[in-house]
Amino acid sequence: MAPTSEQGTAHVLPPDERLLKLLVCPVTGGPVHFDADFDNGSDSQGNPLPRGAIISPQARLAFRVEETIPIMLADEARPF
C-alpha cells in the first residue's frame, strides 16, 4: 500500500536515488527527476491514483512508478 500524506492522499514510493541518477527520458535522452507531488489523476472507476511520477521536462511526459520501479515506456507515459 502506498504511503499517505497528512491530507490522506496516497503517494508512490520513489525509486532508489542511485537508479534515478542513471535514468534518462526514453523519448529525448534528456534528464528526468522524481516529482512526489505529481497528480496521476484517477483510475477507470474514478478512484484517485497515488501521487508521484518520473518527469521528463523536455518531453513533457510523466512516467509512472510501481513499487519503486520506474516504468519508462514512452507509450505508457502521460503528457502534461
Helix ranges (DSSP H) in 1-80: 17-22
Q: What is the pLDDT of residue 4?
A: 54
Taking the model in full, what pTM does it have?
0.84
Q: What is the pLDDT of residue 9?
A: 74
Domains of the chain: 17-79 (2.20.25)
- Which residues neighbour 45 within 8 Å (Cβ) at sequence distance 6 or greater? none
Tens digits of residue pLDDT in 21-74: 999 999 999 999 999 999 999 999 999 999 999 999 999 999 999 999 999 999
Distance of alpha carbon 16 from alpha carbon 23, whole angstroms: 11
- Which residues neighbour 34 within 8 Å (Cβ) at sequence distance 6 or greater? 14, 15, 20, 52, 53, 54, 55, 65
Q: What is the pLDDT of residue 8?
A: 63
Radius of gyration of the chain (CA): 12
